[in-house]
């Protein structure tokens, strides 16, 4: 069954003509339709996907092949696509069809990938559970009454349920890594600037990064290879050369030092998660890595720091949604003031409005120094601390999330408790360094547990190596939820 295969495997199958792209795409389209209860997708264009698959098969027959030719892929509905709507999980953009494609959408398309659909997400990427979407929550394939994580929950659920071999996500405070952990997948947040943000609808501009959500590190390497690189349309994009990630994937990890922060495995972390993390670290030791104890005290301030900076930037980024040039517009208004206030009051959901308000407050006169400026100074502290830590170790390990996937509706009444679940992921965004989550076990309810590895700036290669090495001797990444196998 092709859907059970990894992306790398499927590439092989296509190359050997064991299967055609049309058969492949049809297979996944069937599964997507079969499992609509997951609500992983917002838009699917079956006709267009099959047409692209046909063209891909024809090109392949002529000998014209790219690295992801014929592979169906799903984009988080935050990446602009001309082929179908880009909603950001919001009423504000529910019918919006972008006149242009995001850079990574174009890159993946040029790389041969076939866009099968856009996945569900927390509204405007603000959330950790994919429960704030205008289109309803997405369910975790491992346990349908539980959340898949967020904000890239739709992408994670789709890959976990094998509705698509790989999907893209975005990560501002953990939104790729945490859903990957909750769904038993490999999710990579590259270094800030590694992947172009052009066409990736902005939530917090200095924190957002796009990245792959896949079954394995090898799959992630293939997708990252296409997504990464300089884009002249993004002034924050890095022109650092993109290495060939697959070439060095098999490099041995002996001698690498893995730092384990004291405060990453404390009381707040669920004991089953702690157990799985410890076991995974033993595996790394067996493979020759050295464990080193390190300390990152400032990370305790990471949560308030993030929840000042991200909403502040978001409050500004979302000002363009005013019903004038695109998007939702309220039905009736007497004047300009009403047009703005009703459009934005009706177009945005509750969590988005909360964050816009907090962000506006943090930037306002009299509060800027105490909140925004102070948060940016703490950010500097956190970043410096990572730099110091990386003198003692090469990678930093810990749980991706303090718990496994919580129940639908469990945290929706208390925004702050939702925020606290980001404790381990946000510091990598604040510092702009890369981090990956890989599956390392299950809790006694069968919910996946994720290990996070953080690396130095632009060391995506090293993270993929470590992850790949672990995946050579473990099987967690191969597990598929029973209902979907």
* Among the listed residues 37, 47, 416, 444, the single contact to other proteins using CB under 8 A: 416
DSSP characters for 396-462?
EEEESSSSSPPBTTSSTT-HHHHHHTTTTTHHHHHHT--EEEEEEEE-TTS-EEEEEEE-STT-HHH
Comparison of 244 and 377: residue with beta carbon closer to other proteins = 377
Q: Which of 8, 43, 76, 191 is catalytic?
A: 76
Angle between helices 7-15 and 217-227 (to 10 degrees): 80
Stretch that binds other proteins, among 46-54, 85-93, 274-282, 397-405 (CB under 8 A): 85-93
Which one of residues 172, 401, 425, 457 is an interface residue with other proteins (CB under 8 A)? 457
Q: Is 204 in the site for other proteins (CB under 8 A)?
A: yes
Angle of CA points 316, 350, 123, to nearest 5°? 70
Task: Tell me how far apart the alpha carbons of residues 350 and 330 are, in angstroms, rounded to a whole number.
Answer: 17
At its nearest, how many Å lie between other proteins and the CB of residue 78? 8
Find the binder of other proteins among 374, 442, 479, 480 (CB under 8 A).
Answer: 374
- Which of the following is catalytic: 175, 237, 421, 437? 175
Instruction: Determine which residue in the list 60, 76, 177, 197 makes contact with other proteins, applying CB under 8 A.
Output: 197
Other C-beta atoms lying within 10 Å of the C-beta of residue 206: 16
Closer residue to other proteins (CB): 105 or 405:
105
- b vs e for 325-346, b when ≥16 Cβ sit within 10 Å of the residue's Cβ? ebbbbbeeeeeeeebbebbbee
Using the contact rule CB under 8 A, the part of the chain among 39-47, 185-193, 274-282, 286-294 near other proteins is 185-193
Residue 134, interface with other proteins (CB under 8 A)? no
Comparison of 327 and 448: residue with beta carbon closer to other proteins: 327
Element (H, E) at 75: strand 72-76
User: Quick one: which segment of 172-180, 182-190, 232-240, 245-253 binds other proteins (CB under 8 A)?
Assistant: 232-240
Q: Which stretch binds other proteins (CB under 8 A): 39-47, 69-77, 166-174, 194-202?
A: 194-202
Which SS3 state, helix, strand or coil, does residue 69 take? coil
Near other proteins by CB under 8 A: residue from 37, 47, 267, 335:
335
Can you tell me the distance from the alpha carbon of 440 to that of 156, in angstroms, rounded to the nearest whole number? Answer: 16
Give the dihedral of Cα atoms 455, 457, 463, 466; nearest 10 deg.
-60
Residues belonging to the chain: 485
Examine the residue annotation and report whether 175 is marked as an active-site residue of this protein. yes
By CB under 8 A, residue 65 contacts other proteins: no
CB of 161 to other proteins, least distance (A): 28
Indicate the DSSP class of residue 376. Answer: H
Which residues ranging from 274 to 303 are in contact with other proteins (CB under 8 A)? 298, 300-301, 303
- Residue from 5, 9, 67, 236 in contact with other proteins (CB under 8 A): 236
Task: Give yes or no for residue 385 binding other proteins (CB under 8 A).
Answer: no
Tell which residue, 217, 188, 441, 398, has the closest CA to residue 292. 398
Q: Does residue 391 have an active-site annotation? A: no
DSSP structure class, residue 317: H
Q: Does 326 bind other proteins (CB under 8 A)?
A: yes
Q: Contacting other proteins (CB under 8 A), which of 288, 345, 407, 446?
A: 345
In 3-state terms, what secondary structure has residue 343? helix
Residue 388 binds to other proteins (criterion: CB under 8 A)? no
386 binds other proteins (CB under 8 A): no
Classify strands 395-399 and 448-454 as parallel, antiparallel or unpaired. Answer: antiparallel
Task: Assess whether 237 carries a catalytic annotation.
Answer: no
In angstroms, what is the minimal distance from the CB of 81 to other proteins? 10
Stretch (H or E) spanning 307 = helix 302-317
DSSP 8-state code for residue 243: P
Spatial CA neighbour of 68 closest among 226, 231, 248, 229: 226
Residues marked active site are found at 76, 151, 175
């Amino acid at each position: 069954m092709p859907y059970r295969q990894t992306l790398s495997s499927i590439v092989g199958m296509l190359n050997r003509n064991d299967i055609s792209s049309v058969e492949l795409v049809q297979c996944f389209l069937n599964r997507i339709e079969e499992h609509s209860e997951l609500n992983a997708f917002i838009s699917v264009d079956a006709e267009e996907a099959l047409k692209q698959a046909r063209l891909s098969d024809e090109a392949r027959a002529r000998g014209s092949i790219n690295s992801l030719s014929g592979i169906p892929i799903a984009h988080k509905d935050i990446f602009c696509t001309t082929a179908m709507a880009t909603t950001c999980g919001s009423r504000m953009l529910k019918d919006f069809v972008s006149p242009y494609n995001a850079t990574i959408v174009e890159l993946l398309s040029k790389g041969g990938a076939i866009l099968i659909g856009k996945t569900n997400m927390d509204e405007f990427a603000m959330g950790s559970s994919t429960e704030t979407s205008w289109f309803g929550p997405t369910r975790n394939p491992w346990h349908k009454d539980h959340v898949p994580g967020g904000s890239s929950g739709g992408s994670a659920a789709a890959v976990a349920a094998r509705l698509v071999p790989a999907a893209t996500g975005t990560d501002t405070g953990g939104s790729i890594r945490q859903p990957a952990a909750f769904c038993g997948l490999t999710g990579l947040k590259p270094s800030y600037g590694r992947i172009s943000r052009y066409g990736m609808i902005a939530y917090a501009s200095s924190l957002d990064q796009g990245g792959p959500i896949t079954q394995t590190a090898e799959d992630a390497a293939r997708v990252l290879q296409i997504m990464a690189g300089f884009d002249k349309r993004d002034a924050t994009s890095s022109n650092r050369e993109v290495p060939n990630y697959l070439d060095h994937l098999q490099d041995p990890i002996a001698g690498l030092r893995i730092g384990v922060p004291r405060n990453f495995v404390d009381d707040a972390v669920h004991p089953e998660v702690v157990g799985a993390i410890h076991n995974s670290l033993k595996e790394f030791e067996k493979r020759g890595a050295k464990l080193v104890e390190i300390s990152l005290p400032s990370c305790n301030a990471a949560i308030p720091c993030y929840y000042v900076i991200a909403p502040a930037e978001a409050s500004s980024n979302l000002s363009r949604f005013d019903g004038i040039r695109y998007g939702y517009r309220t039905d009736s208004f007497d004047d300009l003031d009403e047009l703005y206030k009703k459009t934005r009051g009706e177009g945005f959901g509750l969590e988005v409005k909360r964050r816009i308000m907090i962000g506006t407050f943090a930037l306002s006169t009299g509060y800027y120094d105490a909140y925004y400026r102070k948060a940016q100074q703490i950010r500097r502290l956190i970043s410096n601390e990572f730099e110091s830590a990386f003198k003692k170790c090469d990678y930093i390990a810990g749980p991706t999330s303090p718990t496994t996937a919580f129940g639908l509706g469990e945290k929706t009444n208390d925004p702050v408790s939702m925020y606290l679940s980001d404790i381990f992921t946000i510091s990598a965004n604040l510092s702009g360094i890369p981090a990956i989550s890989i599956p390392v076990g299950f809790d006694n309810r069968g919910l996946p547990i994720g290990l996070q590895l953080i690396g130095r700036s632009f060391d995506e290669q090293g993270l993929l190596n470590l992850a790949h090495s672990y995946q050579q001797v473990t099987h967690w990444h191969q597990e598929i939820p029973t209902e979907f196998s």
